[in-house]
Amino acid sequence: MTKKEIYKLMDLIQVYYERFQFDQHKLDAWHLVLQKYSYDKVHKNLLKFVVDSPHPPKISDVVQNSSGGRFIPGEFVLDLAKGEGN
């Protein structure tokens, strides 16, 4: 994603959340993380997010899987009989 696309996303966030402010420093910091993501995917996630949240998104909120939950790397199985994860 380009800085111009990230600027468009941050501008949208500012429209939806009046208290959200950004400057060049914040734009650069977001670009450092978001440059490897697709604008269309992040934009779609942002539009889903604003419907449900009264608070501005963090980067993790707009890059997460659209399944509604946060992605947890690796496989974790909880064995209730043993009381521990395998």
- How is residue 56 annotated by DSSP? P
- How is residue 58 annotated by DSSP? P
For 3-63, CATH gives 1.10.8.200
Asked if residue 30 lies in contact with residue 14, where contact means CB atoms within 8 angstroms, the answer is no
pLDDT digits (tens, 9 = 90+) for 13-41: 999 999 999 999 999 999 999 999 999 99
Query: Using CA atoms, how far apart are residues 32 and 1, in angstroms rounded to an integer?
Result: 10
Q: H/E/C letters for each residue in 6-35?
A: HHHHHHHHHHHCCCCCCCHHHHHHHHHHHC
pLDDT digits (tens, 9 = 90+) for 43-85: 999 999 999 999 999 999 999 864 444 444 555 555 666 655 5
Give me the pLDDT at residue 64, please.
Answer: 83
- Which of helix, strand or coil describes residue 46? helix
> What ranges do the domains of the chain cover?
3-63
